[in-house]
Structure 1
Amino acid sequence: MMNLRTMVVGLTDDLVAKAFMRLWEHEEGTLKVWRASSNFVYRFENKGKKFFLRFSFEGAQSLEQVEAELDFIKYLASSHYPTIVPIHSSEGKLVERVTTSEGGYIGVVFSDAEGESLDCEQMNDSQMEAWGKSLGCLHAWSQVYEPAKELKRKDWRDGLDHIAAALERHSHEKEALIELDNLRIWLYSLKQTKHDYGLIHYDFQQDNIFWQASKSQFHVIDFDDAMYHWYAMDIVAALADVLDHTERDSSNQVECFLRGYTAICPLDKQMIEHFPKFLRFSKLYSFSRILTALEDSDLSNTPPWYAGLKLKLMKMTDEMRLGFSNPW
């Protein structure tokens, strides 16, 4: 989640998006906001085809990390994994930069995702299994992926550092600090092998996977959060809403997902037992990102969506705090 002030500035009159559009071929009048969360995403068309422009404030994402992300995506696409591909600009670049009075932005353009978005409640058993299989295939390719040293994504230690930096600015969050200490001790105790650790997607949820009914598979987008972590973390992050749903029995959905996953990649029993702790990492990491998003967010003359989004994020942090006191 980006800082709310950054979100307001970046969306104002679509000026930043329009600046990027000068660098890629497009049809006039087709540029529209698609979503804004950890970055800005716009849809546009060119020669009858749909594309996505994604950009972020330069202070929030480095050029090196974007290039590392694109390297992994190109590797997956070349391996025939169903994913989007980056599109060259008019100057032949995959990554472009624009500068405004507020600072610099880094942007990329991707091909359109094929298929339709499904909610968990819409998925039948075979689709849940295909979802797990899709993640298993991604991990299978990740196990043999060897990027150049300068194209390596961040890892879970950087995630812990991000959490620590956010909590240092919010030192009153005592239970979150204790949660961080417990997570750090636990994560450093885990073994890393090529079968259970590697580059993961980290956001393999419904808004980033698109069901292709004709092929009975999912088309995958948005590797912006990719990091080196245990593969079990990716499973938990994908199933976070399912695992955390206390109002209904989700055991069958989890079973179907894992059946698809383990048809491609083995999953150690101990890693399954660690699911609740990986979920705690996910929640604390999200908590730290939301705290960062809310910093310096007392703005005037805000757009209509601003107050509702800010309130929603504040309620999310309140709910997350309740979990930090749960026993380990």
Structure 2
Amino acid sequence: MKQEIRDLFNESILTETAERYGVLKDQVHFLKDAENYVYEFEKDNRPYILRITHTIRRQPDYIMGELEWLNYLADHGLNVSRAVPSAKGNLIESIPADIGQFLAVAYEKAPGNIVGEEDWNESFFQTWGQYVGRMHSLTKEYRLSHPAYKRQEWYEEDQLHLRRYVPPDQTQVFKKADQLMKRIHQLPKSRDSYGLVHTDLHQGNLHWHEGRITAFDFDDIGYNWFMNDIAIILYNVQWFPTVPYEDKAEFVRHFFTHFVLGYRKENDLDPWWDQHIPDFLRLRHMLLYGLFHQFMDLDHLQDEEAKMLRQYRHDIENEIPVVRLDFTKIREI
């Protein structure tokens, strides 16, 4: 989180926010403060999640673009953590600060828990794929109620603009990044391949309960290719698997095989897109490289941080595949 936001946040902001939702500050329990302040509270014996951000990071119309799509999915039968109104009936509450405003949103808390080792198996992978397929199928019919609510396109992601954050002498990084961006810009877009998607639906952003998935954390939704939405999941499961693996390529092959079996029950995505997964994985690698440079103190790096940045730089400059796997042959197995 930006330090300028931390400097503006205080107990009176939290007290006022809690009152807007009909509870006391002492009933609101802190969870985390990575990009937003996130809390949990209970009202009328039901649990809710409270997210607080600042206009430095998000504007009300942009947040409405998230909430409108989220509740559209909920209204059409997808299990998501629906946004709920405040005591005054507002989906977004604005709390004045010394500079700008803090913006608060409450959500139903997803039932269940993060998926555990006992459920990390083919059945879960297929259920996950079916869930994402249903989300992509629904988004094809979604229409904005107001142009001001439009979310960003894939190339507008801040961290993809590496020259803003990466040292200017890394010219080979910029060259490879530019080439990758150019290739991806040339990909076709259609109703059946591109739309508003979650863009971060890793296993940490969903709960598993009685064989059902409920997704949350829609803060980063944007317009992207459906296959890139899937590739982001592939990127995360191979870096942060719930159950460790010995062979990365074999694990990703196994996961993707079962994920696609589930996905195709709800949405028909042309297998032609499989050939572009390696570039989408590189794109995620590149975005994280920009993110690390944005938030790390480059003058005081820990040894592990410096090592990680060197590895990312090497991978980008040499176009090293994130995973050595021919995705075009997986569906034939």
TM-score, normalised to structure 2's length?
A: 0.84
Written as runs of structure 1 = structure 2, the 5 A alignment for 1:101-140 is 101=98, 103-119=100-116, 122-140=119-137
Q: Within the alignment, does 1:320 sit opposite 2:318 as a pair?
A: no
- Residue 30 of structure 2 aligns to a residue whose secondary structure is strand
The Cα of 1:157 is off from its aligned counterpart by 2.3
Q: Which has the higher contact order (CA 8 A, sep 6+)?
A: 1
CA distance in 2 between partners of 1:27 and 1:297 (Å): 42
The Cα of 1:314 is off from its aligned counterpart by 5.9
CA distance in 2 between partners of 1:204 and 1:117 (Å): 12
Cα RMSD of the aligned pairs, angstroms, is: 2.8
Segments of structure 1 that go 5 or more residues without pairing to the other structure are 299-306
- Residue 29 of structure 1 aligns to a residue whose secondary structure is helix
Segments of structure 2 that go 5 or more residues without pairing to the other structure are 321-333
Does structure 2 conserve the Cα–Cα contact (< 8 Å) formed by 1:87 and 1:109? yes
Partner in structure 2 of residue 259 of structure 1: 261
Partner in structure 2 of residue 304 of structure 1: none
Residue among 39, 57, 62 paired with 2:59: 62
The Cα of 1:274 is off from its aligned counterpart by 0.9
CA distance in 2 between partners of 1:63 and 1:127 (Å): 36
CA distance in 2 between partners of 1:56 and 1:311 (Å): 32
Does structure 1 conserve the Cα–Cα contact (< 8 Å) formed by 2:5 and 2:54? no
Partner in structure 2 of residue 275 of structure 1: 277
CA distance in 1 between partners of 2:218 and 2:110 (Å): 13
Give percent identity, aligned residues only: 22
CA distance in 1 between partners of 2:117 and 2:161 (Å): 33
Residue 247 and residue 58 in structure 1: after superposition, are their counterparts in 2 closer, same or farther (change >3 A)? Answer: farther
Residue 46 and residue 291 in structure 1: after superposition, are their counterparts in 2 closer, same or farther (change >3 A)? Answer: same
Give the counterpart letter for 1:241 in structure 2: N
Q: Within the alignment, does 1:189 sit opposite 2:195 as a pair?
A: no
The Cα of 1:74 is off from its aligned counterpart by 1.2
CA distance in 2 between partners of 1:166 and 1:19 (Å): 40
Partner in structure 2 of residue 230 of structure 1: 225
Give the counterpart letter for 1:180 in structure 2: A
Residue 18 and residue 311 in structure 1: after superposition, are their counterparts in 2 closer, same or farther (change >3 A)? Answer: farther
Give the counterpart letter for 2:232 in structure 1: A
CA distance in 2 between partners of 1:55 and 1:279 (Å): 31
The Cα of 1:163 is off from its aligned counterpart by 2.5
CA distance in 2 between partners of 1:30 and 1:157 (Å): 40
The Cα of 1:143 is off from its aligned counterpart by 0.9
Give the counterpart letter for 1:83 in structure 2: V
The Cα of 1:243 is off from its aligned counterpart by 4.0
Q: Within the alignment, does 1:241 sit opposite 2:232 as a pair?
A: no
Give the counterpart letter for 1:133 in structure 2: Q
Written as runs of structure 1 = structure 2, the 5 A alignment for 1:10-89 is 16-27=13-24, 29-89=26-86
CA distance in 2 between partners of 1:99 and 1:184 (Å): 39
Does structure 2 conserve the Cα–Cα contact (< 8 Å) formed by 1:7 and 1:36? no
